Each structure stands twice: as structure tokens, then as C-alpha cells.
Amino acid sequence: MELQHEFTVPVPVDEAWPALLDIERVAPCLPGATVEEYDGRTVTGSVKVKVGPVTVTYRGTAVFEEQDESAHRMVLVASGRETRGQGTARATVTAELSGRDGGTAVSVRTDLTVTGRPAQFGRGVLAEVGDRLVSQFADCLAQRLAERPPAPGEQPREDGTATATATAGPAQPEPLDLLHVAGLPVAKRAAALAAALAALTVALRLCRRNRRRHGKRRR
């Protein structure tokens, strides 16, 4: 499926471009994402996705196939697989930046393929989730661009200043909750789907029992 989004950030293109390529800085704006390694072209990490009571973790890589600074255009190809399951996710993300009213407009086109449990919601629901995630990401990115980047050995405060801190391992992010992000309409659809699956399961069990009973009577 193809998803199209656009957002703006309140800084010039020449500032927004390097910020979007600063993976360690923008990763906290992506719900459920953990960056384990980044060499300037390839990102290795994981993303946790929660679907109702089930949490799915994808591990994989994302590779910058194109970084055209003059055109302010980047292409990122990401792929991952469930750590406990057969589900997969693959996305080709193309982003183009352009100046707008002193700020930067970011146009993002995503070609997404998902298999496994999250795929059960279909294109419409995934598009809704994408819209809300992009909106959250844009707000978070705008706030981070307005802050002074922390120096080594410092971490940002809520007011944008920095304070010294001891070196510690990265905090584990909360899973991306699809039902919470998409809101009540999606939750209702998921509940309806769950009810339908439950009814189907019960019906199949009853059919099996009836077959067994008939089989015993014939004997």
C-alpha cells in the first residue's frame, strides 16, 4: 500500500535536512523505536507494536539508498521481521524537503507491505494510524529543533536546557499501541473482528463435536 503525508517544521531547509539525518536525535520521536547501531547509512534496531493485548517486536535494518543534499531528497528502505512469529514489514520511504514561509515542508511517500497480525486491520486503518503518527512525529521534531542539542554527557531538560548526567544504557521505549493511536473507531473495528473470529472458532468447535457424536452413533 502507498501512504502520502506532509508536515512542516519551523526551521529553514538547511537546518531541517541535517536534523532529519541525525537518527539518534529523531529516533525518540518515533513511538516504539530503538536504535542499536547507525553507521551513517544503515540503521539497525527494533520497533515494538502493540495490537490490543498482544505486543509484536520487529527487528531489522533501514538503509539510506539516497541522500541528495542539493535536492533535499532522501530514500530510506526498511525491513524487519517479528522476533516471535512469521510476520514481516517492509517500507520504502521517500522524503523531499522544500522551503515554505521561512520553514520547511516535508513530503513523505511510503510504500508499505505488512504481513502478520498488524495487517489484519487493512489499508484504511493503517492509513489512519500513519496520519496520527506523522502528526506526533512532526510535533516532536519541531520541539527538538527548537532546543539546543545537548553536549556529550548531558541530557535535555523539559525546558530545553541541558544538565550533566552519568552514562547509562538507553531506556526502553513504550510499544507503539495501534489501538490507542488510531482511537475508538479502530478499537471498535478490532473488537468486531475479534468477536467474529471468536464466533467462528465456537462454530467450528460445535461442528467438530457434532461430527464426533454422529460418528459414535453410527458405530
Question: Do you know the residue count of the chain?
Answer: 219
For residues 166 and 84, which has the higher predicted lDDT (pLDDT)? 84
Band (194; pLDDT cuts 50, 70, 90): very low
Euclidean distance between CA atoms 142 and 145, whole angstroms: 5
Q: What's the pLDDT score for residue 164?
A: 37
Which of 76-85, 145-154, 181-190, 201-210 comes out lowest in average pLDDT?
181-190
Which of 37-41, 129-133, 172-176, 207-211 comes out lowest in average pLDDT?
207-211
Band (33; pLDDT cuts 50, 70, 90): confident
For residues 43 and 55, which has the higher predicted lDDT (pLDDT)? 43
Euclidean distance between CA atoms 54 and 28, whole angstroms: 22
